[in-house]
């Protein structure tokens, strides 16, 4: 699959109790306009852009529960086809 999508990770700078500047992720969006709106709110706001394959969900790590539910659904589908 040659489809790709852009993911925007919105970040903000803040100062912790020790006076150190910390950069933290505050949100994720697929919308460039939302990312630019976030950045335009002040100099402490920024975003990073990542290009990911369109089928990223297929490659994403899944919990054991999700895997078990997918397996159960597949078994049920196979049984329905057999009947």
- The neighbouring-strand residues paired with 29 are 8
Neighbours of 8 (CB within 10 A): 21
pTM for this entry: 0.61
pLDDT in tens, 22-32: 999 999 999 99
pLDDT in tens, 31-80: 999 999 999 999 899 999 999 887 776 666 666 777 777 888 888 888 88
C-alpha angle with apex 10: 7 to 11, nearest 5 degrees? 140
Q: What DSSP line would sit under 50-61, residue for residue? A: EEEETTHHHHS-
């Amino acid at each position: 699959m040659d489809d790709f999508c852009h993911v925007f990770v919105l970040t903000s700078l803040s100062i912790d109790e020790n006076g150190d500047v910390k950069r933290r992720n505050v949100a994720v969006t697929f919308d460039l306009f939302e990312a630019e709106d976030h950045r335009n709110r002040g100099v402490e706001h920024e975003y990073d852009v990542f290009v990911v394959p369109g089928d990223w969900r297929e490659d994403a790590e899944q919990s054991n529960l999700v895997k078990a539910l997918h397996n159960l659904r597949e078994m049920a589908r196979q049984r329905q086809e057999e009947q």
